[in-house]
Every structure is written in C-alpha cells, then in structure tokens.
C-alpha cells in the first residue's frame, strides 16, 4: 500500500474549516473590493479552484451536490469569496470539457491558475485567421479576475469578410482564453454588494487567440469529457453554485438574527424578542423556508447528476434543476431581507453583521440565474406550452 498518498477531507468539510478565516476577512474583502491575499492563499492550499476539473487533469471532479454544499459553506463566511469560487470553477470546467487534454493542462497547470470572464454580448469581434482568431472587444463582470491568471471572453465568430461563421449548422460562438496580462483592466467595480468579487471590465484589441484556446462551451458536438459534470450545461452549473451562495448567506443571516433575538429588547415592544410570539413564529417559518428550498435543491441536483451519469439526462431533469436553483436563490434572499428588517436599528450599523450581508444577498438576487423569467419558462414546460427553452 502506498502510504504517501494524501487523502484530503471532502470539499464541503474543507470549506467549513475555512469559515473562521473568511469571517474574519469579510469586512476587509468588502473594503478592498477583492479577496484578501490570506484568503486567496487558503483557497489555493485547499485546492478550491479545481473542484470541477477532471481528475485526469489534476482536478477533483467532485459530485455536483458537494460543489453546491461547498459554495454554501464558503458564502456562510464571505459571499464574495463563495461567488469567486463558483465563477472560476464553472468557467474552468465548461472550458476544458471542450478542449484537448494537452491544451487544458497547458492553460491550467496549477491550483492557483483560475479563470474569470464576463457575459457574452453582441459588441465584440472574433475574426478567423490562420491558426486561430483575432479578438477585439470589451467585457464586464470578470468576477475574481484580480486573482486569476487567465481571463476569458465570449464572442460570435466572423469570417475575414465580416460574415458570420457557421459551424454545426449554426452561428459559431466561442470562449477565448488568454493571459490576464494581455488585457487592459478597467477598475470600475463600484457596486452595492459582492464588492469583494472585483468584477472589473477588461478590453482586448486585435488579440491573437490560438484555435486550441477557443473552446465552444456547451456545444455537444465538441464536448470531449464524458463525466456527468460535463453533461450539464454551464448555465445550470453556475446556477447550482450561486444557489449555494444564496443559501449560505441566508443561513448566516438567520443564525445571526436568532442569536440577536435571544438577548435583545426592542424599544417598541413590551416583551424581549425571545418572548415575542411574532418573532418566534417568524424564525420558525424562516427556518422552514430555508430548509425546504435547500432540500428541494439538493434533490434536483442529485436527480440531474445521477441521470447525467447514466446517460439519461432529459429536458425534464434540466427544467427541474432550473426551477430548484431559481427558487432557492429567491427564497434565501427573502430570508436575508426578513432577518435584516427584524433586527431593527442594529442592522444598519456597519459594525454589525447584517448590513454587508444584506447588500451581498440583494446583489446575488439580481443575477441572471435568479430571474423570475426562469419560473415562467418552467411553468410553460409543465403546462406543455410550446416555447424555445433557454439557459438550460
């Protein structure tokens, strides 16, 4: 037996062990607008940026449910760090799923590499040239990009004459990966919450990106990896991790509010909060709301992952996962808001543990993955109304 093999604790367990450090660094992360060096080092030491990379490339390829629990545990300590961990892991996984083994290893050689990128838009240009592409454009929301070696950018591809390039019978959309040092970074991240993600804008002009570094994420025709994680689209992977972030925030807010209720006497109330029937009922209902949303989410994740492993992942599975993730993000946000309001004047103090986490929770709720339109789409699917399904 090889006694030199190191068996790490599970990813959720490692995340929980980081909570005291994350909690202590949270205010400074918020003030700096980026994760502190101490926390970045701890993430790397605990291999938190290769959770979804395949084992064949040095990653951990953990179960999707464990990934959700990991982002939840990290966000309990600091939401911006949880957001960064989810963003980088899913971006890496969805890239290497459609890249050659050698190219992926070359781009992601270590636990510190990471990847950040912004959303796709229609104001960029990627011209096909010999051996690759010439990329020009501006992108925003590169969450965690101040701590990653690589940036990425999504763009439609054009032929040299400016016409759309068609591949697999549809317009060719690709994700272009390059060194962060090759981009111009614009420090414009001035926002309500999730300040520590440092989600800067970045610009490249006529940058050559080799073909091997331009995967078509979510293109079934180009998918190389066969594990269950890589059968699930990047949209649903992101949604799963961000749901964990929302739940971690909601749980921390509820625990903090409950602790406050054990010892606070409201000025306008006859009884201490702990003896107030309305507060007692509210805390019970918030516990039920948070726990039921989490249980539904975990059920949907497990069903989708098991189906992907068996090669039987269907539209029904994907719709159910979309419903569970959207529901969890919104229910957790409602709990966070209710805890803030219930805490009274205490909650507005920057020195108290409510104000920053409320800003983070509200910012999480504004993301594409939490939009109510997803619920409408799932409702149409359940009814049987004809539609063009998206973000699945």
Domain co-membership, 283 together with 315? yes
What was the pLDDT predicted at 282?
A: 97
Domain co-membership, 92 together with 148? no
**How many angstroms separate the CA atoms of 28 and 296, rounded?**
34
Note down the domain range covering 141: 115-222
Domain co-membership, 163 together with 260? no
Give me the half-sphere count of Cα atoms (radius 13 Å) on the Cβ side of residue 92: 35
Give yes or no for a contact between 256 and 273, defined as CB atoms under 8 angstroms apart. Answer: no
Give me the half-sphere count of Cα atoms (radius 13 Å) on the Cβ side of residue 229: 30
pTM of this structure: 0.95
Whether 391 maps to a domain, the answer reads no
What was the pLDDT predicted at 292?
A: 98
- Of 58, 85, 107, the position where a domain reaches its end is 107
CB atoms within 10 A of CB 313: 19
CB atoms within 10 A of CB 144: 29
**How many angstroms separate the CA atoms of 64 and 231, rounded?**
12
Give yes or no for a contact between 118 and 145, defined as CB atoms under 8 angstroms apart. Answer: no
Per the structure block, which two tokens stand in for 25? 């660094």
pLDDT-wise least confident of 72-76, 92-96, 237-241, 351-355: 351-355
Residue 5 has pLDDT above 50, yes or no: no
Give yes or no for a contact between 21 and 42, defined as CB atoms under 8 angstroms apart. Answer: yes
The percentage of residues in the chain with a pLDDT greater than 90, rounded to a whole number, is 93
What was the pLDDT predicted at 3?
A: 43
pLDDT, tens only, 144-157: 999 999 999 999 99
pLDDT, tens only, 8-20: 799 999 999 999 9
- C-alpha triplet 96, 98, 103: angle, nearest 5°: 55
Identify the three-state secondary structure at position 367: coil
What was the pLDDT predicted at 270?
A: 67
How many domains, in total, are found in the chain? 3
Domain co-membership, 158 together with 250? no
- Of 185, 204, 222, the position where a domain reaches its end is 222
Kindly give the pairing relationship between strand 150-158 and strand 125-129: parallel
Whether 187 maps to a domain, the answer reads yes
Whether 3 maps to a domain, the answer reads no
pLDDT band at 120 (very low <50, low <70, confident <90, very high): confident
């Amino acid at each position: 037996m090889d006694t030199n093999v190191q068996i790490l604790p599970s990813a959720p367990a490692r995340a929980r062990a980081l909570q005291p450090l994350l909690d202590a660094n949270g205010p400074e992360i918020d003030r700096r607008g980026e994760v502190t060096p101490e926390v970045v080092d701890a993430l790397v030491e605990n291999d938190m940026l290769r959770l979804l990379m395949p084992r064949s490339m040095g990653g951990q390829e953990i179960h999707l449910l464990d990934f959700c629990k990991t982002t939840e545990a990290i966000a309990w300590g600091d939401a911006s760090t949880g957001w960064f961990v989810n963003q980088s892991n899913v971006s890496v996984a969805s890239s290497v799923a459609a890249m050659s083994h050698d190219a992926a290893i070359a781009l992601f050689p270590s636990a510190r590499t990471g990847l950040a990128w912004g959303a796709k838009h229609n104001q960029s240009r990627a011209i096909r040239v010999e051996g690759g592409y010439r990329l020009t454009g501006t992108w925003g929301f590169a969450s965690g990009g101040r701590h990653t070696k690589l940036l990425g950018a999504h763009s439609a591809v054009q032929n040299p004459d400016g016409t759309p390039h068609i591949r697999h019978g549809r317009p060719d959309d690709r994700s272009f990966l390059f060194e962060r040092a090759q981009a111009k970074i614009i420090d414009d991240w001035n926002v309500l919450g999730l300040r520590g993600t440092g989600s800067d804008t970045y610009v490249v002009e006529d940058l050559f990106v080799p073909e091997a570094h331009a995967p078509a994420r979510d293109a079934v025709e180009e998918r190389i990896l066969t594990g269950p994680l890589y059968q699930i689209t990047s949209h649903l992977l992101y949604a799963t991790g961000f749901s964990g972030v929302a739940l971690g925030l909601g749980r921390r807010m509820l625990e903090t509010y409950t602790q406050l209720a054990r010892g606070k006497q409201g000025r306008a109330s006859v009884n201490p909060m702990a003896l107030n029937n309305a507060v007692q009922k509210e805390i019970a209902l918030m516990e039920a709301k948070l726990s039921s949303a989490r249980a539904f989410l975990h059920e949907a994740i497990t069903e989708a992952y098991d189906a992907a492993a068996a090669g039987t992942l269907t539209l029904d599975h994907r719709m159910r996962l979309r419903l569970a993730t959207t529901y969890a993000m919104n229910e957790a946000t409602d709990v966070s808001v209710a805890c803030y309001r219930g805490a009274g004047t205490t909650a507005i103090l920057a020195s108290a543990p409510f104000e920053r986490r409320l800003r983070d929770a509200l910012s999480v709720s504004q993301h594409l993955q939490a939009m109510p339109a997803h619920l409408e789409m799932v409702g149409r699917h359940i009814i049987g109304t004809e539609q063009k399904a998206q973000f699945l």
